[in-house]
Structure 1
Amino acid sequence: MPVSFSSLDLNLLRVFDAVMEERSVLRASQKVFLSQSAVSHSLARLRELLEDELFVRTASGMQPTARALAMAPLVRSALKSLESAIESPTFVPATSTRTFTIAANDFTTMIVAPRLLQILKAEAPLVDIVIRPVTRIDLAEQIDLGRIDAALGTFSALPQRFASDLLFAYDDVLITSQSHDRITTDILSQMSIVVVSFGGEQEGAVDGFISERGLARRSEMYDRAAFERAFATAERVPRIAVSLPHFLVLPALLEDSSLAAIAPRPLAAAFARIHPVSICELPYATARLEVRALWHERHRGDASQDWLHGLLRRATEHLRETTAG
């Protein structure tokens, strides 16, 4: 028999959302301030109403069924809307104890986080930030489920349910442990190169982007197409000696003077301030890529979320001014 929404206890949906978030009856009970038995009883009622198991207990936790996965973003959105409708729309950064979750790779974290934390310390000292890796997760699903407030990265396709804002743009440069007056294609062809790729080759990336639920995010963190065009007719091609899943180890690797790395210009500048590395212009032009903040459209009009988006723009203002110049 089809379930009637008018007879549904909305508390069952709160329990469902908590179990979906925590994948544990114990942690879900703590989140909604109920006993474990009350959570289990609520799940049993919802399973009976919907005629679906919803969650299956496994060694790794409560795993959702296909029906639960389909329901989850809709339930989370509905609960958020109800919360916004009954709670005060005001947000006071100076006294707020909110925790915001941001997804970012190590490149954008190193570039954005220091200025972000400076502003927080001065204006919102009780607000906490959780930074999660933007790779190795289904980013679109995490945003849909409300587990991520904003994601930072380079995206080639945005579903209509997501909104975004430009933070800064960049191109690629070469970093080495030795100084060079000028890098030519002949000099570069004799080098062993380090590049960064977030596992795109294994995950079925297309043109350096991984697509998930309509959202395409960049996984190959150097302009491979420009690199290949530059050496298409060359007798000798630079050797891609090392491919890494992250950036922050680059200065340590470059202590070996035989290696050079292709890296985003803002990150190279940050490395050069604290490590003995030199920045060289590549002998070919690379694509100018945009790093954007991405969030769900349902956050539109939410005072706390609007403040977060403004905070991200302020924390990257110096980067936009630099790239504009």
Structure 2
Amino acid sequence: MGIGRIDLNLLKVFEAVYEDRNLLLVGKRLNLTPSAVSHALRRLRELVGDELFMRTGKGMVPTGRANAMAPGLRDSLRQIEALLGAEAFSADTSTRRFVIAANDHVTEVIVVPLSRALQQVAPHVDLVVRPSTRLDLAEQIDLGRIDLAIGIFAQVPPRLDAQTLFSQGEAALMRKGHPAARRKLTLNDLARYPLVTLSVGGQEEGAVEGFIVERGLARQSEMFDRQALEAALAAVAQAPRTRLTVPHALAIPALLRDTSMLSIVPASLAVALAKNGDLVRRALPYQPRTSTLQAIWHSRHAHDAGHAWLREMVAKAASVTAKALA
């Protein structure tokens, strides 16, 4: 295929259809009519000699050829934009859409203050939050469907860049009026009262020591230091009892209400959930590990001014939470 036959606008359409899987959304994103999007896809199919996308009840599903093309094409577009100086970004006028992967804990402590900030400085920028708990997180980043993932990672492969947001310990939560709420928490309390724990993946999903590894990326699945808890209680000949394990952090307040259960959660989540006064936060009577919250992204975004701006905004939002932990 000669380069002279390729219209770069067609490649932008391919990228948008691959990410959105919906022609109406693509039209809105690129300011094109549905017929113009369909025409562009037809031209692409003629150039490539493949259907590229199949229309189904769930949207436009990419063919194997489209999946093979997507990563390299996206990298090439970013390089061309950088070479032509197209990386200029103005937050107050941009209509760009960013996709962030985060669990509900991170959404509460990072995305909420980020959203408030964007209302002030970038009123036309849109955010889409995808679950970071999905097993194909690394693949989604590789394929360009996720711009930024925020979480706790024990291992980040070289093809991904990372930025530390803040480090934190853990804390205990209980309902207001709990028998242990008016004093320091003890190891006997942790043995006596059953626990609500937070986990977004277990051994059946490949988790090892609280982390799931995929494509070189190790993401946290168990949201507390189980080994430190068990070791602390073993020293006093006790053992914890986990009554309930849930994948959703924001369900914890309702689960603790009117019960004697305790929950051990990341410190930033404990601060956020105790704000409304229904829950009491207490320091743990042992030393859990310190975990580091990071933002990660594909290195292809290194010279993307808009992406760099997003990373800066995320870091500023994280600093708000970090100050609350100090």
TM range (shorter): 0.7 to 0.9
Distance 2:38 2:108 in 1: 44
Distance 1:300 1:123 in 2: 22
Distance 1:192 1:46, change over 3 A: farther
Counterpart of 1:260?
A: 262
Distance 1:75 1:123, change over 3 A: same
Distance 1:160 1:142, change over 3 A: same
Alignment partner for residue 244 of structure 2, among 242, 245, 258? 242
User: What is the DSSP-based 3-state SS (H/G/I as helix, E as strand, rest coil) of the residue aligned with 1:126?
Assistant: coil
Distance 1:45 1:282 in 2: 64
Q: Which amino acid aligns with 1:223?
A: D
Is 1:158–1:215's contact at 8 Å kept on the other side of the alignment?
A: yes
Is 1:190–1:236's contact at 8 Å kept on the other side of the alignment?
A: no
Q: Does 1:207 align with 2:209?
A: yes
Counterpart of 2:291?
A: 289
Distance 1:264 1:300, change over 3 A: same
Distance 2:268 2:107 in 1: 12
Q: Which amino acid aligns with 2:110?
A: V
Deviation (angstroms), 1:146 = 2.3
- Kindly provide the CA deviation profile for residues 177-234 of structure 1, in whole angstroms up to 9, marking residues without a partner as x: 1214122222211111001111333321122112222211111111122122223455
Counterpart of 2:42?
A: 41
Number of residue pairs matched by the alignment: 318
Distance 1:272 1:145, change over 3 A: same
Counterpart of 2:15?
A: 17
Is 2:230–2:240's contact at 8 Å kept on the other side of the alignment?
A: no
Distance 1:6 1:120, change over 3 A: closer
Deviation (angstroms), 1:92 = 1.9
Distance 1:261 1:289, change over 3 A: same
Deviation (angstroms), 1:291 = 0.5
Unaligned runs of 5+ in 2: none
- Kindly provide the CA deviation profile for residues 151-189 of structure 1, in whole angstroms up to 9, marking residues without a partner as x: 110111112121111111111111111214122222211
Alignment partner for residue 302 of structure 2, among 261, 281, 300? 300
Counterpart of 1:144?
A: 142
Q: Which amino acid aligns with 2:221?
A: S
Is 2:135–2:214's contact at 8 Å kept on the other side of the alignment?
A: no
Is 1:194–1:243's contact at 8 Å kept on the other side of the alignment?
A: yes
Q: Which amino acid aligns with 2:312?
A: G
Is 1:25–1:40's contact at 8 Å kept on the other side of the alignment?
A: no
Alignment partner for residue 274 of structure 1, among 273, 276, 282? 276
- Kindly provide the CA deviation profile for residues 34-73 of structure 1, in whole angstroms up to 9, marking residues without a partner as x: 546535533543553xxx6655665544444444333321
Q: Does 1:188 align with 2:185?
A: no
Distance 1:75 1:313, change over 3 A: same
User: What is the DSSP-based 3-state SS (H/G/I as helix, E as strand, rest coil) of the residue aligned with 1:274?
Assistant: coil
Deviation (angstroms), 1:249 = 1.3
Unaligned runs of 5+ in 1: none
- Of residues 175-184 and 80-89 in structure 1, the stretch that sits farther from structure 2 once superposed is 80-89
Q: Which amino acid aligns with 1:288?
A: T
User: What is the DSSP-based 3-state SS (H/G/I as helix, E as strand, rest coil) of the residue aligned with 2:250?
Assistant: coil
Q: Using structure 1 for the length normalisation, give the TM-score.
A: 0.86
The sequence identity of aligned pairs, in percent, is 41
How do 1:1-325 and structure 2 match up within 5 A? 4=1, 6=3, 9-10=6-7, 13-23=11-21, 33=32, 34-35=35-36, 38-39=39-40, 41-42=42-43, 44-46=45-47, 48=49, 54-55=52-53, 60-86=58-84, 88-136=86-134, 138-177=136-175, 178=178, 179-232=181-234, 235-321=237-323, 323=325, 325=326
Q: Using structure 2 for the length normalisation, give the TM-score.
A: 0.85
Q: Which amino acid aligns with 1:172?
A: E
Distance 2:97 2:29 in 1: 15
User: What is the DSSP-based 3-state SS (H/G/I as helix, E as strand, rest coil) of the residue aligned with 1:147?
Assistant: coil
Is 2:82–2:303's contact at 8 Å kept on the other side of the alignment?
A: no
Distance 2:248 2:302 in 1: 32
- Kindly provide the CA deviation profile for residues 235-265 of structure 1, in whole angstroms up to 9, marking residues without a partner as x: 4422111111111111111113321111111
Distance 1:117 1:57, change over 3 A: closer
RMSD of equivalent CA atoms: 2.7
Distance 1:27 1:116, change over 3 A: closer
Is 1:150–1:295's contact at 8 Å kept on the other side of the alignment?
A: yes
